[in-house]
Structure 1
């Protein structure tokens, strides 16, 4: 099968890290509980940039394979996909030809991922869907959308009509957070560090697009003196004490999901750092319970893309072919994207 194989981790430029092979061995089912999927499109994620550079992954990124945590990346990166079932294990509820997606399912971490024509997936982590959308449009949805949805509405329990700050709004998860929050009737404040991206945040539906500088907290408090209901922290946990917490209203919630600063933990953290009556939570897709209901949400979002409620040109920034995976990584690493970067596998 065709695959982008990570042959020189850490090499420069990014394209030097990968070798495009046409004869990489097609995987076979480890057991009858697995699926072999023909991958048609795969969204890129910053964890894959770290994997390419041999940077240590986070334990939650191994999904259901946390017991097999290790630092070295597999030969094939890629942590999400949309595609069709090529081989269905006898102990699954899938059939050949089913359209499926998966994210944080072990691929690209515990075993070979989705930068290839075919990928293995535990059936319990696969989500079935129906759609007539092109594969690139579908590829820009799953992981970023569910991370945003799960963070806002499952973890932080954001209510319709809430005021939400998306700290790191131009990331693919940030864009989906704007879309989903607005769809629930929320008021959205989205941030970026780059002035030239403010207009794109407004185009995505943000009611307020603010520059992420030393005046950010003051500007938010000027808009909402009593604070906001939800802060979606995508920049990193190192921004909690000075940025996220001061924005929160009483009984507000801050949910951490992103680590754009590559900071996983805080030294000397104590619960006393969390302001009284405020809540701090975290969202990941590590356990199977973290993706319960994802099939219904994914199908609903796909229908809203099909009907024009959510526009492809808003959440999908750029599409590359598998053969150009190095260019895709470079584009993403240079922070040029506003929304999702997707590769297609022909």
Structure 2
């Protein structure tokens, strides 16, 4: 099969870290719970930049595969995909030809990922897409799965957000951030979004953000969000990192509100000497990761999202940043690493 293999680490030019081959061995199913998928598109994620640079790997990133933790990355990286089942384990619940997506390490970090024509996926990390998804291009579908569900799960499961609430998204130009805007507005929420780059303000407004603020202004005036939405935000989706909780997230949080910390765009994994007293009284701090029990709600949310894309409620130009061929994955990494993207970068496999 064709694949972009991670053949070197931490080189100045990302393209030099990958070797495109056409004779890489096609993976086989580890057991009856797995499927083999013909990958048609793969979405890029920040963790893959860290993999290319041999940066920190957390045990938590292995999710359900934590017992197989190791610090070495697989030769083929890539944490999410859309495609069609070409081989189905008898206990997987799938059949050949099913349109599916996978995320949160569909094969687990111990296995090769989605920068390839084929990948394997455990049934607990594989989700079906409705037949109507075939009306949408693979590239557009590839911009949906992981960003959508991370945003939805963080805002509505972890954050317990209700229609009419105010949601503040810190780090809104990421794929998760864009989807956070879309799903929040669809639920009737008011949205405040932040970015570091003034050039991206209009795109966030186009996606539906009611207010867009620059991060530098938030740091200069921690009360800025409460000036825009009196009382503050009921739910805060903090994607930038733990170091921004105290200066930006907590000051923006309404009484009895929730801060959901689920991103490390700033690559900060911990806060020195952090303790519970940093959390303002009546506020709650939580996090979100994909859980096994997410299967059924995710299935419905994915189906609803497909229909909203088809109806035009979710326009692809809002959540799909750019598309690269599999052999050009290095160029895609360059765009992501330079923080040029607004939304999801997708590989055409």
- TM-score bracket, normalised by the shorter chain, equals over 0.9
- Return 38-47 or 66-75, whichever deviates more: 66-75
1:160-180: per-residue Cα shift (whole Å, max 9, x none)? 111111000111100000000
The 8 Å contact of residues 105 and 113 in structure 2, kept in 1 or not, is answered as no
Q: Are residues 1:200 and 2:219 paired?
A: no
Q: How does 1:238-317 map to 2 (within 5 A)?
A: 238-285=243-290, 287-317=291-321
Aligned mates of 1:65, 1:46 — CA distance in 2: 20
The 8 Å contact of residues 230 and 248 in structure 1, kept in 2 or not, is answered as yes
Aligned mates of 1:128, 1:90 — CA distance in 2: 16
Q: CA deviation at 1:290?
A: 4.2
Aligned mates of 2:222, 2:163 — CA distance in 1: 23
Partner of 1:320: 324
Partner of 1:224: 229
Aligned mates of 2:293, 2:331 — CA distance in 1: 35
Partner of 2:127: 127
Q: Are residues 1:39 and 2:39 paired?
A: yes
Q: How does 1:132-151 map to 2 (within 5 A)?
A: 132-151=135-154
1:86-113: per-residue Cα shift (whole Å, max 9, x none)? 1011122111000011101353622100
Partner of 2:343: 339
Gaps of 5+ in 1: none
SS of the equivalent of 1:143 reads helix
- Return 259-268 or 305-314, whichever deviates more: 259-268
Partner of 2:171: 168
Partner of 1:98: 98
Aligned mates of 1:217, 1:8 — CA distance in 2: 42
Aligned mates of 1:329, 1:216 — CA distance in 2: 33
The 8 Å contact of residues 108 and 114 in structure 1, kept in 2 or not, is answered as no
TM-score (norm 2): 0.96
**Aligned counterpart for 2:192 among listed residues 167, 182, 189:** 189
1:78-137: per-residue Cα shift (whole Å, max 9, x none)? 000000001011122111000011101353622100000000111232101121211001
Q: CA, structure 1 residues 171+99, in 2 after alignment: closer, same or farther (shift >3 Å)?
A: same
Q: How does 1:17-36 map to 2 (within 5 A)?
A: 17-36=17-36
How many residues of Structure 1 are paired with residues of Structure 2 in the alignment? Answer: 344
The 8 Å contact of residues 191 and 211 in structure 2, kept in 1 or not, is answered as yes
Partner of 1:77: 77
Aligned mates of 1:67, 1:269 — CA distance in 2: 28
The alignment's C-alpha RMSD in Å is 1.2
Aligned mates of 2:180, 2:221 — CA distance in 1: 19
SS of the equivalent of 1:148 reads helix
Q: How does 1:4-19 map to 2 (within 5 A)?
A: 4-19=4-19
Partner of 1:113: 113
Partner of 2:89: 89
Aligned mates of 2:185, 2:223 — CA distance in 1: 23
